[in-house]
Amino acid sequence: MAENRLDRQLETREKTTRTRHWQRPEVLPSPTPEEGYVFRWIRVASRGTTDATNVSSKLREGWEPVKAADHPEITLVSVENERFSDNIVMGGLMLCKAPEEMIEERSEYYETQTKSQMQSVDNNLMRESDARMPIFNERKTKVTFGNGT
């Protein structure tokens, strides 16, 4: 009855998988994650000129350069800057890391700054409001579900 069937051993997964298509390699490779740290690429140079102001501000902010010996999975073709010869530098960007707590504090700081600036703008706008022609400042959205009729 089952004369046209193949043997179970001939139906392997390797023989039924599709061929893998070519994908463009990522320009900046991702390092293996470390517990408690966030990684970021920081600009060291732009168009061949070093950007010392950006590097020094990021280092003062708390970012630490990552040593190439700590992440051997990232292969370097050449060292672009002798100053950062022990670090991972690609295309004018240096891989740095910072503790997650510091990143959360930084995000909270900028969120507070944004909220205070928006409140200042709102106060300034409402000061210009007139009772005869009031300015409505409503920043709320409403989502409804239904048939739309």
Say whether pTM exceeds 0.85: no
Q: Within a 13 Å sphere around the CA of 22, how many CA atoms are in the beta-carbon half?
A: 1
| Mean pLDDT confidence for 124-141 | 71
For 40, the enclosing helix (H) or strand (E) is strand 37-43
Please, which pLDDT band fits residue 98 given cuts at 50, 70 and 90? very high
Note whether 91 and 29 are within 8 A (CB): no
Label residue 97 by pLDDT band (50, 70, 90): very high
Q: What does the pLDDT read at residue 130? A: 72
Mean pLDDT computed over 82-92:
77
Mean pLDDT for the stretch of residues 22-48: 85
